[in-house]
């Protein structure tokens, strides 16, 4: 899932992903599937849970479509970065 630059600051502050902010929907997935969310530069900024199928997401133009569960800078994200550096 790739989001536009306007969505990034909201997502990294914990906001859920809204359909207008999505630039690219990759692959097929169902409701409840875990998705990686990246910015236009290809950097991963969040992990979320899909609130609809890929096909439904492609066919809609508004509304909340991904529940963000971890984002860049939250406690778990930072812990994972520390663990990676420790290797």
3-30 residue pLDDT tens: 999 999 999 999 999 999 999 999 999 9
Mean pLDDT value across residues 62-66: 97
Indicate the SS3 state at residue 56. helix
Give the per-residue pLDDT at 41. 97
Give the per-residue pLDDT at 74. 93
Domains in the chain, please, with CATH? Answer: 2-86 (2.30.130.10)
Write out pLDDT tens, residues 47-58: 999 999 999 999
């Amino acid at each position: 899932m790739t989001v536009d630059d306007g969505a990034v600051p909201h997502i990294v502050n914990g906001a859920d992903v809204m359909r207008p902010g999505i630039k690219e929907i990759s692959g097929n997935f169902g409701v409840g599937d875990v998705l990686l969310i990246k910015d236009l530069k290809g950097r991963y900024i969040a992990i979320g849970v899909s609130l609809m199928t890929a096909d439904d997401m492609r066919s809609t133009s508004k509304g909340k479509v991904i529940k963000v569960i971890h984002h860049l800078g939250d406690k778990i994200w930072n812990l994972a970065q520390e663990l990676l550096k420790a290797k």
